[in-house]
Structure 1
């Protein structure tokens, strides 16, 4: 029943919100329910809430709440509730594997990186979920490093957020993701292999400087230094395009609000016309009962 409602409502609606809250409660302190969830057909319907590709750029309050609720459920499957037996770590690893097999990484990258219109709390939670999925899971980290957003590696896109974070919260979420990358054997090497730009300035830097810089600083240094004036110009153009993109998103949202208002006004008008038509029909019927020629009366009224 819960999954049928979620399937019908998608990421919108109060009914879906209630179902997700109920599901959160059922899973929070039940390891058996968590293990069962990934095996039932309704699990795919639950994950479909995260799929916003091809949908409207508008994120209503209900849609935001529902997205966060599903991300909370994913977090429960990955990390378990507050009273879950630590000996069930193998089940958590299995859940991570299943989630990635079901293309959850694609949805999370869309929410956390690609969708600039998504609310900041949704973007940050999605980035944190990616970090949890790859923590102590080399196979999932390999899957992530193979993902591409457009023409560049997905991790490269995530790393770029650090150079222009929209908030401290977003910067911390990206940092959390990369720290979890390093929890895997060879994680640092795998991360470095995703860089497109060569850190030229580091090649010629003194060895002492290289030693003192953290791994994250080296990666960020490789992206932000060694760029020529043409690269800086591209950066500026990209920033301008991002601003224009946000403006267009706002325009689309305002247009949708106007369309909704116009539709409401039209519905009210149609309702009024329907009531008036019923009155005319009732009056015409009564006049005919009294022997009046209604058609003739209407013709006379039109002539006047």
Structure 2
């Protein structure tokens, strides 16, 4: 049986504690304070009208006039503030006493109201819990009835439960309609699970893991594609690394012998001969020839002669070389 909450009736319907405040508050005094505020505002507005000036007039105003009129405006605003504060000073004390008395008198009513609210929240939660349990049973019965108890364990009802199925105390909530929605969602999960098992993925086991994590065929396909692309990139990088490694390492089990390689190259190279070139060259051509010699490993001693042309130089060389 539901707990009966008894309401405490507070007779009188008035603030008993501050009732004597009516004799303490000077309503005439408050009225005079309000009149004083109105008068201060009127004087301030009058001063503002006398001092009114646009930006151009202010810019052209004499400094002494600017200072004098500014002081008048400042005094007018100050008088308004003093009148307002005087009213607050007279009004704040009774206001605070009324608030304290109000809080004291209304506290039992607020406490009773809060007890009602707590009991209502408890009752609402009981209704929601019962609806959740009923729909969870519908889900379990459907899965077990189709031999899918293990799938129901992998995808519990909490994973698919929508708030509108249970998290409500609305009177128009229909158990039959909600049960049909639960069965419909369960059927979709079964169909999607069968699709995952029958589809050819690059990574079938990971596809199943992704499905149970997301319950989304789109996510399964997307994750499988991304994993395949990433694996392809890794394979390409590894292949490139192996290719570079194979290119840089010598064949055989022994280490790379630089000296032996150099000796083999020398042995296979053509044996050099000694030549004398007699040519006519400009200075730039001469420098170009020297550069080519150096770049190609040609060793020797280039010399410039005083002969009139290469023919005369060649004739002299032949005479010397042939005796």
Q: Which has the larger radius of gyration?
A: 2
Normalised-by-shorter TM-score class: under 0.3
Larger RCO (CA within 8 A; separation ≥ 6): 1
- TM-score, length-normalised on structure 2? 0.20
